[in-house]
Amino acid sequence: MEFAGEEDAFAAREARAAAAGVETVAPGLAVADAVDAERVRGLAYTRTAGDLLGLADADPRSARAVVEAASLGRDRDGTVAVRARVARDSAAVSTAETERECGAALVDRGFAVDLDDPDHVLRVLFAGDVCLVGWVVAESVRDFSTRRPTDRPFFQPGSMAPMDARAYANLAGAGPGRRLLDPMCGTGGVLIEAGLVGSDVLGNDAQPKMVRGARENLAHYLGDGGVDREVVRGDATALGVRDDAVDGVVFDAPYGRQSKIAGHGLDDLVGDALAEAARVAPRAVVIADRSWREEARDAGWAVTDAFERRVHRSLVRHVLVLERD
């Protein structure tokens, strides 16, 4: 698996939505078992996944040796292309030479090369002193720039980037047959991304203009997507849904220790929202400008993963992945 971004631990955790046994082996690269190719398409921080042919030293001749020795497992009537990449500029190796060497090895083994529209792509990935060689079986859909917050029908400053919203939805278990809730949905960014990977979505917000705006955004992006969607006005600490009504909860907690929202102090608001989330779902993801670990535990959650993600110099997002005790 080939990661995007600079945070391997976070990318690996999201990749578990599509694979088992994810293990980082070098900067930006991981191996895994039982990869679900369709789920890979919906990942934010994984670029590609492939059938691993072998690991080698980080040089073109070693990569070629893997190709020469491997059981290739592909139809020899199909065309191939080799694509080599160095992750994060972490290895001093020529990708052009690698593509020539591995391409020649494939030709020697009976394959026809088509650089423009191949039937199969052999990916050669370098990082540090490691090389991974494998056939690409899935690529994530990198269309996040088409949903920039400023381009949505309804926009408010501070909206989360679509790539991050997708990752948080995946951490909460988004996917076909799942229902995801954002109890502080704002403009609906997390709901959009959850819906695009097949989840039914439910949004809640205390502000009428956010409810109207989120509905407009969801209609724009999910109109014919075949998923159920609903956005209601309500209090995140007293949701109008039954126990265990959803499969996962994601919310971006209000920032600023002195904030007051809908009559709640921030500590009470987030603490009570965490407790309400534990009533309606077995899993949650909370994003905030500080860690709410203690409050999450008090609300009945076990913290399975915690990340600190730098947005810019003055803002670090604390991310908690929670499972109900």
Domain boundary among 108, 139, 170: 139
The parent domain of residue 269 ranges over 144-324
Tokens of 3: 């990661």
Q: How many domains does the chain fold into?
A: 2
Angstrom distances, CA of residue 159 to CA of 37, 148, 199, 309, 314: 30, 9, 21, 16, 16
CA-nearest of 325, 311, 314 to 10 is: 311
For residues 93 and 158, membership in a common domain is answered with no
For residues 10 and 79, membership in a common domain is answered with yes
Give pLDDT tens digits along the chain (325 positions): 999 999 999 999 999 999 999 999 999 999 999 999 999 999 999 999 999 999 999 999 999 999 999 987 666 678 999 999 999 988 899 999 999 999 999 999 999 999 999 999 999 999 999 999 999 999 999 999 999 999 999 999 989 999 999 999 999 999 999 999 999 999 999 999 999 999 999 999 999 999 999 999 999 999 988 999 999 999 999 999 999 999 999 999 987 644 555 556 888 999 999 999 999 999 999 999 999 999 999 999 999 999 999 887 778 999 999 999 8
User: Residue 76: which CATH number?
Assistant: 3.30.2130.30
Distance between CA atoms of residues 108 and 96, nearest Å? 18
For residues 295 and 223, membership in a common domain is answered with yes
Terminal C-alpha separation, the chain: 31
For residues 75 and 155, membership in a common domain is answered with no
Domain boundary among 71, 105, 139: 139
- Contact predicate 250/169, CB 8 Å: yes
